[in-house]
Amino acid sequence: MDLLSTLRTTGAVRAFTDEPVALATIYDLLDVARFAPNGGNRQAWRVVVVTDPAQRRRLRDLYLPGWYQYLAQSAAGLVPWAPVTDPEREAEAIASAPGIAAAAAAGPGGFAERLDEAPALLLLLADLRYLAAVDRDAPHYTLIGGGSIYPFAWSILLAARAHGLGGVMTTMPALEEEALRHAFGLTETQVFAGLLALGHPVHQPTKLRRGDVASFATVDRADGPAFERP
Look up the CATH number of the domain holding residue 39. 3.40.109.10
Write out the chain's pLDDT in tens, 230 residues: 789 999 999 999 999 999 999 999 999 999 999 999 999 999 999 999 999 999 999 999 999 999 999 999 999 999 999 999 999 999 999 999 999 999 999 988 899 999 999 999 999 999 999 999 999 999 999 999 999 999 999 999 999 999 999 999 999 999 999 999 999 999 999 999 999 999 999 988 888 999 999 999 999 999 999 999 99
Report the amino acid identity of residue 62: L
Domain count, the chain: 1
* pTM for the model: 0.94
Other beta carbons less than 10 A from residue 108's beta carbon: 7
Residue 187 lies in a domain: yes
Distance CA 147, CA 144 (A): 6
d(CA 167, CA 105): 24
Q: Range of 201's domain?
A: 3-51+112-215
**Measured between alpha carbons, how far is 145 from 129 in angstroms, rounded to an integer?**
11
**β-strand pairing of 166-170 with 45-50:** unpaired
**Does 28 map to a domain?**
yes
Q: Where does 128-202 show beta strands of DSSP type E?
A: 166-170, 190-199
66 in any annotated domain: no
